[in-house]
Amino acid sequence: MSITILDGGLATCIEKLFQRHLGNGSLWSAKILAQEPSVITAVHEAFLAAGASIITTATYQASVDGFEKFLGLDRKSAIDVIRRSRAAGVKNGRAQRNDSDVPGDIAAHARRGLTKRLLFHYLLRLYRCANMSITILDGGLATCIEKLFQRHLGNGSLWSAKILAQEPSVITAVHEAFLAAGASIITTATYQASVDGFEKFLGLDRKSAIDVIRRSVLLAKTAKGNQGKTAEGSVGPYGACLADGSEYTGSYLNDATITNEFLKAWHRPRIEALLSEGVDVLAVETLPGAREAEAIADLLKEFPGSKAWYSFSCRSGTQTSYGEDIGESVSRVVRVGGPQVFAVGVNCCSPKNVTESILRIRVCVGPEIPVIVYPNSGEEFVPSTKTFCGSAFDIVELSEQWIAAGATLVGGCCRVYPDDIRRLSQKVKML
């Protein structure tokens, strides 16, 4: 007999994987179809990756009357939403996989991004989590300094880099706190450290500035001792050292003077200092756009044998902070960096968007490259006041979804503390 595998519950999958609460709505998944079509695509991808041969369009509760009544759409717009859901080969509302997809269709787009290799990989991730090797990262170093040591860094232009220069023992203590909580990877306190910044804000000469960056590696190595843990060298984007929040917009990438050669020259001293002291991997993080990632990946060719992970700040589950597609962004850096790319992923973003980002990244880069995720607590950073507002998410509870979606390196960023990492480590041991 020939057995055909169907998909599962699209709406309830949206609720579980993407934290959308549909139960009280009059349109159910049809509202997501109208307002967040990328979520529908991601759910189709998840079911196809799990082995389904048939996926159903998100039109179960979609109707012209419903869209007119509950969303205020006119008749033509309502019909366009329903058409958007379709795929080539639709029969009675069901889309089967084939090679004659119509460009722009949501279900068809989901099919085009998948390969047999990815299907197998995703099955392993989804159904054999207990056999996966998950690495726990640390949390937010600077916000931990603020909470545990009552240092107020928000209004400073160097953030934790000032503490690195003036109170190195505090940096060591934070590293030790995260390691004791269960982290296997700690990152140096160099996210906002630069030769320019130390010269401008602390009055250091170039040699002294580079010595401070080198010291960060010694502090991390001292903290980890012989525990078998690793120390990664934090490389924040150029925007972070502008201290204006532009790492969350990428606005500086619009400046014609910020060329790839400029970015390479600016990043070179810090990267050279970190590698000279023997960091295990470079953590190139909170990147708003792909162009800066490509520039750094190209720069690393000057340092054969070095490796780096590249993680992007994101405005949603599908877009980087600069507005580029997250899947295409990681694909671009992989093409440039080749075997020097250790991992790709997202950080310092809202936890609610992480699952969708992982699914998109996995579709684009396949199973060979590890996916790293370390979002912030979910509270929103306000650049003008350099404070956080809003409510936090429980990243520990969400982490199981991230691991099932394919993340193998998991931790936290701003306002994720040692207690959170301890709970995360315990959670992973139970999977």
The residue type found at 106 is I
| Pair of tokens at residue 105 | 């269709």
Q: What is the DSSP letter of 244?
A: S
Q: At what angle do helices 395-405 and 418-430 cross, to 10 degrees?
A: 50
- The model's pLDDT over 192-224, given as tens digits with 9 standing for 90+, comes to 999 999 999 999 999 999 999 999 999 999 999
| Pair of tokens at residue 211 | 């010595």
Q: In the chain, count H helices and then E strands.
A: 19, 12
Q: What is the DSSP letter of 191?
A: T
Q: What is the DSSP letter of 204?
A: -
Strand partners, 347: 374
Residue positions counted in the chain:
431
Could you tell me which residues are annotated as the binding site for Zn(2+)?
348, 413-414
Give the start-to-end residue ranges of the domains of the chain.
10-115, 127-430
Predicted local confidence at residue 94, as pLDDT: 40
- Cα separation of 355 and 399, whole Å? 9
Predicted local confidence at residue 90, as pLDDT: 37
Q: Which CATH class is domain 127-430?
A: alpha beta
344: helix, coil or strand? strand
Beta carbons within 10 angstroms of residue 10's beta carbon: 22
Write out residues in the chain with pLDDT < 50, as ranges: 87-104, 109, 112-130
Which residues contact residue 281 at a Cβ distance below 8 angstroms, ignoring those fewer than 6 apart?
230, 232, 233, 307, 308, 309, 342
Predicted local confidence at residue 76, as pLDDT: 82
Predicted local confidence at residue 374, as pLDDT: 98
Predicted local confidence at residue 110, as pLDDT: 52
- Cα separation of 61 and 38, whole Å? 18
Q: What is the DSSP letter of 102?
A: P
Could you tell me which residues are annotated as the binding site?
348, 413-414
Q: Exposed/middle/buried for 1, CB within 10 Å: 0-12, 13-18, 19+?
A: exposed
Beta carbons within 10 angstroms of residue 233's beta carbon: 26
The residue type found at 104 is G
- Cα separation of 358 and 118, whole Å? 13
Strand 94-96 and strand 281-287: pairing?
unpaired
- CA-nearest of 233, 263, 250, 226 to 141 is 233
- Specify whether the CB–CB gap between 161 and 171 falls below 8 A: no
- Specify whether the CB–CB gap between 86 and 107 falls below 8 A: yes
- H helices within 150-299, ranges in order? 160-166, 168-181, 195-202, 206-224, 238-242, 260-276, 290-299
Predicted local confidence at residue 117, as pLDDT: 41
Q: What is the 3-state secondary structure (H, E, C) of 301-313?
A: HHCCCCCEEEEEC
Main-chain dihedrals φ then ψ at residue 295, nearest 5 degrees: -60, -45
Beta carbons within 10 angstroms of residue 27's beta carbon: 20
| Pair of tokens at residue 304 | 């054969």
394: helix, coil or strand? coil
- Cα separation of 250 and 73, whole Å? 34
- The model's pLDDT over 138-171, given as tens digits with 9 standing for 90+, comes to 999 989 998 888 887 665 678 789 999 999 999 9
Predicted local confidence at residue 422, as pLDDT: 97
